[in-house]
Amino acid sequence: MAHLSPTVVPDVRILTAYAIFGASYLVFALGKFPGLKIDRPGAAIIGAVTMVAFHILQPAEALRFIDFPTLVLCCFR
């Protein structure tokens, strides 16, 4: 397995973050992922889990980004 130098790792993480964000944003713009049954909320969840899985965000940091009052409002509409 090839090892990346420490100076390249941040660049790879940034490019990965942009790719995940771009794919998620594409689904947000289209309303659903073409060919699959993934809609906007599904894309948001998949994007968030992918960000944590690729160590772009730490799990504790990802939890701080959740706006729980918004989730509560969405459940009671």
Predicted pLDDT at 22:
93
**Residue 45, Ramachandran bin (φ over 0: left; ψ between -120 and 50: alpha; else beta):** alpha
pLDDT in tens, 27-74: 888 887 778 788 888 888 899 999 999 999 999 999 998 888 887 887
Which of the four pLDDT bands, split at 50, 70 and 90, describes residue 6? low
Q: Would you list the domain boundaries of the chain? A: 9-75
Asked if residue 16 has pLDDT above 70, the reply is yes
